[in-house]
């Protein structure tokens, strides 16, 4: 029995290692023909009259949004001050300000922007040189921790790192609403396409972001009932093999 228990612990440890390689999101919006959360949470919403257009198929499918008609999300964050958001998207137009995320439901100009080819949290006057390219997909992760540290990672690398003393990034809108690619009818939006948006109820680490960016091929998540991906299957097989070897050793000992 002790050997069997040890084998089970070993298998669990192997599987835990697989899970730790890429933290699972709280909510995952893959835009595979709909606005639903793959993990069963609240769906995204659109502005009244916004077109609902999807392009591509499988892992390449995404949501094509019109000018100032990006999706929005409410009732999805456990805390207004501690969270992470992961996005994979491309904008059709650059130049000047192009709003990516609105934390305040359109009540102020505060938010995360592309500013020409830089990233900027308005109004901090601390642009980060990221060499954004028009029409090119970018992997963006922003995190906010309990000590108000706000960080933005662009294609796996830390681009912005500041203390948000003025709470520019706290979610103060009704139902903690967050708006994406939307300037509330102003001129600082852009049409584009978003492959996925995910939220986390923790502040991800730099190592977490590197795992999610995965060398330029972002990790794909599926819902809780999904079939494990090939890498996970391989680790599971190793774990089961170790469990079988331990059982065979136990049986030989009894026979002797």
Phi–psi pair at 201, nearest 5 degrees: -90, 20
Number of C-beta neighbours around residue 129 at 10 A: 11
The pLDDT, as a whole number, for residue 223 is: 60
Q: What is the mean pLDDT of residues 128-155?
A: 96
CB half-sphere exposure, 157, CA atoms < 13 A: 7
Q: What is the mean pLDDT of residues 102-120?
A: 93
Q: When comparing pLDDT for 91 and 123, which is higher?
A: 91
C-alpha 208, offset from chain centre: 11
Please say whether the beta carbons of 1 and 14 come within 8 A. Answer: no
* Percentage above 70 pLDDT, the chain: 77
Please say whether the beta carbons of 176 and 76 come within 8 A. Answer: yes
Helix count and strand count (H, E) for the chain: 3, 14
Q: What is the mean pLDDT of residues 176-202?
A: 92
Q: What is the mean pLDDT of residues 40-68?
A: 89
Phi-psi region of 148 (alpha: psi -120 to 50; beta: other; left: phi over 0): left
3-state secondary structure of 207: helix
Q: Is the pLDDT of residue 236 over 90?
A: no
Q: What is the mean pLDDT of residues 70-74?
A: 95
Question: At 57, is the pLDDT very low, low, confident or very high (cuts 50, 70, 90)?
Answer: confident
74-93 in b/e form (b: 16+ CB < 10 A) is bebbeeebbbbbbbbbbbee
3-state secondary structure of 68: coil
Phi–psi pair at 196, nearest 5 degrees: -155, 155
The pLDDT, as a whole number, for residue 21 is: 66
Number of C-beta neighbours around residue 210 at 10 A: 15
The pLDDT, as a whole number, for residue 111 is: 95
Q: Give the model confidence (pLDDT) of 12-30 as tens digits.
A: 443 444 445 668 999 999 9
The pLDDT, as a whole number, for residue 225 is: 37
pTM of the model: 0.80
């Amino acid at each position: 029995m002790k050997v069997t228990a040890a084998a089970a612990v070993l298998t669990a440890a192997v599987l835990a290692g697989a899970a730790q390689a890429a933290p699972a999101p709280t909510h995952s919006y893959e835009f595979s023909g709909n606005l639903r959360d793959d993990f069963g949470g609240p769906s995204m919403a659109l502005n009244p009259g916004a077109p609902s257009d999807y392009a591509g198929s499988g892992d390449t499918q995404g949501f094509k949004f019109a000018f100032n008609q990006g999706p929005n999300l409410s009732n999805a964050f456990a805390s207004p001050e501690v969270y992470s958001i992961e996005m994979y998207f491309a904008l059709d137009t650059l130049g000047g300000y192009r709003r990516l995320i609105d934390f305040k439901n359109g009540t102020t100009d505060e938010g995360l922007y592309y500013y020409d080819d830089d990233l900027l949290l308005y109004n901090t006057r601390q642009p980060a040189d990221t060499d954004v390219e028009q029409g090119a997909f970018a992997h963006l992760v922003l995190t906010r921790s309990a000590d108000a540290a706000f960080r933005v990672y662009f294609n796996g690398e830390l681009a912005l790192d500041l203390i948000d003393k003025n709470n520019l990034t706290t979610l103060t809108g009704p139902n903690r609403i967050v708006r994406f690619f939307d300037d509330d009818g102003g001129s600082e939006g852009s049409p584009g396409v978003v492959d996925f948006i995910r939220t986390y109820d923790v502040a991800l680490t730099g190592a977490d972001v590197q795992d999610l960016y995965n060398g330029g091929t972002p990790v794909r998540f599926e819902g809780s009932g999904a079939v494990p991906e090939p890498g996970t299957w391989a680790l599971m097989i190793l774990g089961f093999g170790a469990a079988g070897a331990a059982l065979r050793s136990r049986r030989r000992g009894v026979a002797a």
